[in-house]
Amino acid sequence: MPTGSVGKSEKGGKGAAALVLLAVGLLLAAAACGSSSSASTSPVTLRLGYYPNITHGTALVGVQEGIFAKALGPDKLDASKTFNAGPAEATALITGSIDVAFIGPSPSINAFTKSHGAVQIVSGAASGGAGLVVKPSITSVADLKGKTIATPQLGNTQDVALRSFLKSHGLKTDLQGGGDVSIKPQENSQILLTFKQGSIDGAWVPEPYMSQLVVQDGGRLLVDEKQLWPNGQWDTTNVLVSTSFLKAHPSTVKRFLEGLVETVASIKSDPTGAKAAMNEQLASLSGKKLPDSVLNAAFANLTFTVDPIASSLVKQAADAVSVGLLTSPQLRGIFNLTTLNQVLKEKGQAQVASS
């Protein structure tokens, strides 16, 4: 879930903690100032955050095809802000730089916990599409001892998954890059370069980077994360909204979710068109399209769904605690699926559960 940080920053926890506390204070103050007024009915601009990743394919298609913009009706969409991983995006949401975020479960948990409920998950967006790719010479988990493995950012969804996986196999790690396996957080684009250069031995990454490392760079998929989850399903990307924005503009959020449901239906009904739209949007963001071989492989590893698969988020929170990235999170209220289920009911579709 790229796709925010659970816990401390790469440069140390104190600065990040101070930033989060300041952000929370600003957001809560803003919410308090507006709490006595009724929800706004004036046209507003919804500022959307997402990653240029295939795991955020729902966002890519919804933006590229104009589905979100059309669904918002009188309101406007600002989709100009993209991120490499969740920690920075979560901070942007908490500080009010964006209103809605496509984001992974781990940064969602961290943001909800640190902000005492100032953000909430209002929908799922994607399941699957992440794993550990290594040099061909590494053929077993035991071979990882003494190796350097990258993740997109300390405490992001893939970082938590890697640390938890290694711990379950008796391999120790720490937040400073020490232990049996050295974990080296770096941006996804940098991971592609450092893997090719040989300065890292592998990486636990989301799509399309997982497929790029395999198809283009000769890596071996040592761990496909879907093998670690019941029925191969887990929450990779969800939709997180500022609680104050939701309270102030419930109709805007509902219209956005209507566009989200329509986008998922479009992806399922026309996967060829969806892949083309994803690639066009990726090209507009990065200046370069993915090769068809990478795009097809990445797309096949994902399921696009509005179901946030709530049970998987609970386990991800427990995993973050077990590897020292989070302390006793209180998740009650993290899901607010009322509006989504209203939209699904109106469209005659099955509703989703928050537990």
* CA dihedral sign, ordered 24, 27, 33, 38: negative
Query: pLDDT tens per residue, the chain (355 residues)?
Result: 444 434 433 334 434 444 444 444 444 444 444 333 334 468 999 999 999 999 999 999 999 999 999 999 999 999 999 998 788 899 999 999 999 999 999 899 999 998 999 999 999 999 999 999 999 999 999 999 999 999 999 988 999 999 999 999 999 999 999 999 999 999 999 999 999 999 999 999 999 999 999 999 999 999 999 999 998 999 999 999 999 999 999 999 999 999 999 999 999 999 999 999 999 999 999 889 999 999 999 999 999 999 999 999 999 999 999 999 988 788 999 999 999 999 999 999 999 998 7
Distance, in Å, from the CA atom of 103 to the CA atom of 93, rounded to the nearest integer, reads: 10
Q: Do residues 81 and 103 both lie within one domain?
A: yes
Q: Domain count for the chain, please give it.
A: 2
Select from 205, 232, 259 the last residue of a domain.
Answer: 232
Q: What are phi and psi of 78, to 5 degrees?
A: -115, 105
23 and 143 share a domain? Answer: no
Flag whether 6 is in a domain: no
Say how far apart CA 238 and CA 318 lie, in whole Å: 18
Residue 96 and residue 137 share a domain: no
Residue 143 and residue 202 in one domain: yes
Which of 232, 253, 280 is at the close of a domain?
232
Buried b (16+ CB within 10 A) or exposed e, 169-183: eebebebeeebbbbb
Does residue 93 lie in a domain region? yes
Q: Give the pLDDT of residue 166.
A: 98
Do 242 and 219 lie in a common domain? no
Domain containing residue 73: CATH number: 3.40.190.10
Same structural domain, 274 and 311? yes
Q: Are residues 95 and 175 in the same domain?
A: no
Q: How far is CA 307 from CA 23, 260, 311, 312, in A?
A: 29, 12, 11, 11
150 part of a folded domain: yes
* Whether 341 and 199 share a structural domain: no
Of 175, 208, 232, the domain-final residue: 232
Q: In what order do the strands lie in the sheet with 119-128?
A: 76-82, 45-50, 100-103, 235-242, 119-128, 302-304
Structural contact between residues 304 and 125, judged by C-beta atoms closer than 8 angstroms: yes
Look at residue 41 in the predicted model and tell me its pLDDT: 65
Backbone angles phi, psi at 273, to 5 degrees: -65, -35
Residue type, 122: V
Give a yes or no: residue 35 inside a domain: no
- The verdict on 218 and 295 lying in the same domain is no
Report pLDDT digits (tens) over 224-249.
Answer: 999 999 989 999 999 999 999 999 99
- Residues with Cβ within 8 Å of 199's Cβ and at least 6 positions away in sequence, in order, are 148
Residue 82 falls inside a structural domain: yes
322: in domain:
yes
Number of CB atoms found within 10 A of residue 347's CB: 11
Model pLDDT for residues 283-326, shown as the tens digit of each residue: 999 889 999 999 999 999 999 999 999 999 999 999 999 999 98
257 and 117 within one domain: yes
Q: Which domain holds residue 150?
A: 130-232
Residues 267 and 192 in one domain: no
Task: Tell me how far apart the alpha carbons of residues 120 and 14 are, in angstroms, rounded to a whole number.
Answer: 25
